[in-house]
Amino acid sequence: MEYFVQQLINGLALGSIYGLIAIGYTMVYGIIGMINFAHGDIFMVGAFMALIGLILIGVTAATPALLLIASLLVVLIGAMAFTSVWGWTVERVAYRPLRGSFRLAPLITAIGMSIVIQNFVQIVQGARVKPLPPIVTGGIPIMESADGFTVQISNAQIMIIITTVVLMTIFSMMISRTALGRAQRACEQDPRMAALLGVNVDRTISLTFVFGAMLAAVAGMMFLLYYGVIDFFIGFNVGIKAFTAAVLGGIGSLPGAMLGGLLIGLIEVFWSAYFSVEYKDVAAFSILAITLIFLPSGLLGRPEVEKV
């Protein structure tokens, strides 16, 4: 039982990271109906910016708590600002010029942007793995088994889960209660009619890419603090899993993206714990395939209504 609870905590932490990235995928798809395949590499850029910021500031595990929190916030804001520029650039270069073209054109361009970002980071930072000594250490013991195994939720896991819940709440309220959210929902339903009613469609789509990139930066920093090692290729691997999470939960649904992220994280962790770790990705994609057979729109997705 104790081992199960520990893996449950680990899966929720990993799934929260996937969920943050999946929200970016689902926001872009919801508004323009296309997948931003460069989004995973935006997450990778955010992780590298967080690494550079933490090294420049000189934060260590011995840093006092208040100073550590302030330093992490400064680095996070810097990473979000930098990645938001990348997200805006992807929209301007890969999507806006091709918005009226056939649907495969922006997809191919987005894949090209993904390759460009990967190689740019590889040239600038090198191909070697970049480690980071543990900064957020310690944890809270929850229970202990008779053989001495202690179930613990680490401070890094607490930070990841709380950050995810807070951001999910903020973005849900933004979509449902703000003028930008109403504009996004209007563009999702009919961008041409939204433009006729005074909605700035170009600005709305650009802001959607920017917010998605900012969430990817948060996920990148959480990933760095949790695992302590990154490289230029993590954007592809983690991005594919986050995209899988968005499809599993229902592409276009924010709660679905978070639910899909949590499920993918739990599947990976439990499969690695009780079965063969080499086949954890096979298990995740198999669950996705089975789900889509019975629920083609995903767990929380809505069937797409074809306009005539």
- Model pLDDT for residues 26-60, shown as the tens digit of each residue: 888 877 777 888 899 999 999 999 999 999 998 88
Residue 152's φ and ψ, nearest 5 degrees, are -140, 140
* Contacts of 120-127 spanning 24+ positions with Cβ under 8 A: 121/41, 121/44, 121/45, 121/48, 121/232, 122/232, 125/48, 125/232, 127/231, 127/232
User: Does an H or E element contain 154, and which?
Assistant: strand 150-154
In tens, the pLDDT along 160-181 reads: 999 999 998 898 888 888 898 8
Model confidence at 134: pLDDT above 70:
yes
Q: Does 231 score more than 70 pLDDT? A: yes
Q: Where are the domains of the chain?
A: 2-294
Spelled out in words, what is the top-level CATH class assigned to the domain 2-294? mainly alpha
Per-residue pLDDT band at 76 (split at 50, 70, 90) = very high
Q: What is the pLDDT of residue 41?
A: 93
Say if residues 298 and 260 touch (Cβ distance below 8 Å). Answer: yes
Check residue 33 and give its pLDDT. Answer: 75
For position 251, what pLDDT does the model report?
82
Distances (CA, A) of 111 to 106, 107, 108, 117, 208: 9, 6, 5, 10, 19
Share of the chain above pLDDT 70, in %: 98
